[in-house]
Amino acid sequence: MLKRKDLLGLMDVSAEEIMEILDRAREMKKLFSQEVKKTNSLSGKTVCTLFYENSTRTKTSFDTAAKLLGASTSAISASTSSIQKGETLIDTGKTLDALMTDAIVIRHSAAGSPHLLAKNVKAHVINGGDGLHEHPTQALLDMLTIYNRFGSFKGLKVVIAGDIKHSRVARSNVWGLSKMGAEVTLVGPATLMPFDADRMGCKISYDLDEAVEGANIVMGLRLQLERQQAGLFPSTAEYHKYYGITEKRLAKAESDAILLHPGPINRGLELSSGAADGESSFILEQVNNGVAVRMAVLELLIKG
């Protein structure tokens, strides 16, 4: 069992803990092919999704994961709750404690919000994405997809391409994949590269055609149009020309390379539809693996 109360990011999680989560997720995934997928492993427990930002995949898959484990679920969305009346994050968290919530999955636009919540509540806290900081369960499901396909991480060349600056997914993947022995290259325009990219222990490139050569995994990132300041790239057409992942570009990767993307996709921008729907695309497999990973995380945290 994980010997930690919360899962806030992958920066401080060990390779052994990551492997434990992935192994448990693989066990969970075996349930998916059974007629009755449900277990009662978390029967009597309650999981709450507390989302201050929009989500389809993360929110729904945590909800599905909790239900498949036999837990009860509740959902708070910032737009329809007492958060609108000015309730603080800590007061909301303490209220959830009083409602006997065992685990809170939080998504917030401010980096560090899950850490603040975790310090102030008894419930286990899982980071479902905080600002530009981390999205640990997204990286874990990406890693499960890679592990299931290649059987190991050692020496795999992973290219993470696009809007690195605004990507919590890229950060969590860099920490996680590097710990497991993969070789990570971040690719994007200089204006969309974080200022500390050279301190993250991975390679940096500004040329997607060059970086993708010989890659085993190509991960596209959503261009986060809602977080852009003016002037970071000249036009979306130019962005696609230089940093769009297309079938032609993917052909430069290894013949058994896979394409990943956390979703939602801006079709025709960071990914062409041909690439997104092509044979090497594992994007929907990622979504399915997200349920298994979140089942594993919920069970390991709550039962541990």
Q: Choose which of 8, 18, 28, 58 interacts with ligand CP (CB under 6 A).
A: 58
From the list 115-123, 158-166, 180-188, 256-264, the region that binds ligand CP by CB under 6 A is: 256-264
Token pair in block for residue 274: 């041909």
State yes or no: residue 136 binds ligand CP (CB under 6 A). no
CA atoms within a 13 Å half-sphere pointing along the CA-CB vector of 142? 31
DSSP at 51: E
DSSP character string of 169-231: HHHHHHHHHHHTT-EEEEES-GGGS-TTGGGTTSEEES-HHHHHTT-SEEEE----GGGPPTT
State yes or no: residue 225 binds ligand CP (CB under 6 A). no
Q: Choose which of 179, 182, 262, 293 interacts with ligand CP (CB under 6 A).
A: 262
State yes or no: residue 263 binds ligand CP (CB under 6 A). yes
Q: How far apart are alpha carbons 70 and 121 in whole angstroms?
A: 23
Q: Choose which of 55, 72, 109, 185 interacts with ligand CP (CB under 6 A).
A: 55
DSSP character string of 88-101: -HHHHHHHHHHTT-
Of 1 and 225, nearer to ligand CP (C-beta) is 225
Q: Choose which of 56, 88, 152, 273 interacts with ligand CP (CB under 6 A).
A: 56
Of 91 and 277, nearer to ligand CP (C-beta) is 277
State yes or no: residue 138 binds ligand CP (CB under 6 A). yes
From the list 52-60, 112-120, 152-160, 180-188, the region that binds ligand CP by CB under 6 A is: 52-60
State yes or no: residue 57 binds ligand CP (CB under 6 A). yes
Of 179 and 222, nearer to ligand CP (C-beta) is 222
Report, in Å, the least distance between residue 129 CB and ligand CP. Answer: 6
Per-residue mark of binding to ligand CP, 90-109 (x: CB under 6 A)? --------------------
Q: How far apart are alpha carbons 6 and 130 in whole angstroms?
A: 14
Number of residues that bind ligand CP (CB under 6 A): 9
State yes or no: residue 227 binds ligand CP (CB under 6 A). no
Burial (CB count within 10 angstroms: exposed 0-12, middle 13-18, buried 19+), residue 67: middle
Report, in Å, the least distance between residue 279 CB and ligand CP. Answer: 22
197 and 171 Cβ atoms separated by less than 8 Å: no
Of 94 and 227, nearer to ligand CP (C-beta) is 227
Helices (H), the chain: 15-31, 57-68, 89-98, 113-120, 136-150, 168-179, 208-212, 236-243, 247-250, 273-276, 283-303
Q: Which residues bind ligand CP (CB under 6 A)?
A: 55-58, 129, 138, 262-264
